[in-house]
Structure 1
Amino acid sequence: MTSWSPDWHAPADALQCLVDWGASPRLLHHHQMVLQAAQALSAALKAAAVAHDAQWMAMGAALHDVGKLLYVQEVSGPGSEHEAAGEALLLKAGVPAHLARCCVTHGQWQNCEALESLCVALADRLWRGARCPELELRVIDAAAERKGCDRWSIWSPLEDTFEAIAAEGPARLQASRSCADR
Structure 2
Amino acid sequence: MTDTVLLSRAMSGTVDPALLPLPDRVAELMSELECPPRLAAHLRAVHDVAHQLVDWIERHCPALYFDREAVLFGAATHDIGKSVHVSELSEPGAAHEEAGRTLLLGRGVSSELARFAATHASWTEPSVGLEDLMVSLADKIWKNKRIPDLEDLIVARLAEATGQAAWEEFMALDEVLSRIGEEADERLAFQASFPI
- Shorter-chain TM range is 0.7 to 0.9
- 1:33 equivalenced with 2:45 (yes/no): yes
- 1:175 equivalenced with 2:190 (yes/no): yes
Q: Which amino acid aligns with 1:24?
A: P
* Structure 2 contact 119–128 (Cα < 8 Å) conserved: no
Specify which of 49, 52, 68 is matched with residue 82 of structure 2: 68
- 1:123 equivalenced with 2:134 (yes/no): no
Partner SS state of residue 121, structure 2: coil
* Structure 1 contact 131–166 (Cα < 8 Å) conserved: no
TM-score (normalizing by structure 2): 0.81
Give the fraction of aligned pairs with identical amino acids, expressed as a percent.
33
| CA separation of 1:105 and 1:17: change in aligned 2, threshold 3 A | same
- 1:135 equivalenced with 2:150 (yes/no): yes
* Separation (CA, whole Å) in 1 of partners of 2:111 and 2:158: 22
Moved more, 33-42 or 164-173: 164-173
Cα RMSD, aligned residues only: 1.7
Per the alignment, residue 96 of structure 1 pairs with: 110
- 1:157 equivalenced with 2:176 (yes/no): no
User: Shift in Å at residue 130 of structure 1?
Assistant: 0.9
Specify which of 46, 53, 56 is matched with residue 58 of structure 2: 46
User: Shift in Å at residue 153 of structure 1?
Assistant: 4.7
TM-score (normalizing by structure 1): 0.87
User: Shift in Å at residue 110 of structure 1?
Assistant: 1.2
- 1:16 equivalenced with 2:28 (yes/no): yes
User: Shift in Å at residue 165 of structure 1?
Assistant: 1.4
Structure 1's consecutive aligned runs of 4 or more residues displaced over 3 angstroms after TM superposition are none
Q: Which amino acid aligns with 1:123?
A: A
Structure 1: state its 5+ residue gaps.
1-9
